[in-house]
Structure 1
Amino acid sequence: MTPKQRQRLEKKIADVKRVLAAEKRKFGGYDDSRGLRYLPTRYYIQLADYQGGLTYLRWFAKTFPDDIGFPDFLFEWAILLFKAGKLAEAKVKVWQTFCANTYVLDKFFGQPLQPLPKYEWSTMAQLGFTAHFPYTHQQTDLLDMSHWLAEFMTSDTFSTRKARYLTLHQQLLVEEDNEIRCYLHQEADELESQASF
């Protein structure tokens, strides 16, 4: 990366921070309907400024505690955690990425995306989103993460949770009994929110 390219990315980060700070001053809170708050993680990864990215994410988590984020943002969060050596936390973010869009990890590894029958907001919308996912296991700067992630995804814990999560969502497609549906939703929510591997 040339110094000029680096400067441009640093300016983009500064611009986002400036706009968000102006919103806070003007409205007493954030009205970020444009989603600017999700952009800096990508720039920090491009800059290989992983500590700067984590500092931003600490601010993000404190400022937007209820924001679940988008799948690409969650994956970028996992990248920053991995690159900073925070592997346990990176595993949790990878799991959250999977729960947000079960196709993202397949897309990262270049595997064919086959729609699964599951209860999600929209399989086609998720596949459409995944088509624009910018990361791949072949990126030179992500090779170390690719190896680690492949190993993690084949672990017993991840594989078991993944299978159960998909089964629950497939059951939700056909289950009509409200009490059973409530139980299935509850178990799926508990799986999504598990904070350790």
Structure 2
Amino acid sequence: MNPELPITSISDAKEYFQLKGCQHMHMQRDFPARYEEYRAMGIGKEQETAWAFEAATEGLAHLESDGVDRDEAWWRHSHVEDLIVQRRFHGLLGRLLNATAVIQPLLSQRDRLLVAETIVGRVDPKWRRGLIFPSHDFGEHEVAREFAQQARNLVAEAFEDPKMETRRTALLEKWRDVTVQCGIRNI
């Protein structure tokens, strides 16, 4: 969908919603006129949830395929993570775990750090973000454990760049805090 063109159908509304990451904030910020047209369509929360679930499963399928481009793997992963966690599609966490394993060999060292930050969470652990906490809190303890293992493996290699190494070290400290809070041991 070209966001410069008006939204005149439910199909246009769906494309715009998914194009903007299934986020009203992005829809309104990026194209206020399109957002008003979208709102005028009267799309309900149930329909938006179905469209977001579709976007998440399509994103997972793309990550799991051989067609994912190495330069876009980390941000596609981050986008799918956001949909799954924000929309509470907890049943998809196991698939995201598998997709993470698929893209891992494609990732540069910097991108491995970005994916590890997505897994551990980018904010203070008290907010229980990332992928380890939701997996644990939803009762998927083995998935939480495997995400913790993946995150540690993603950042096993030290950086030569001091700023990136500082960031990696801070992430590992956060990783320890998260794994302790979730009762994950012996990794």
Classify the TM-score, shorter chain.
0.3 to 0.5
Q: What's the TM-score once normalised by structure 1's chain length?
A: 0.40
Q: What's the TM-score once normalised by structure 2's chain length?
A: 0.42
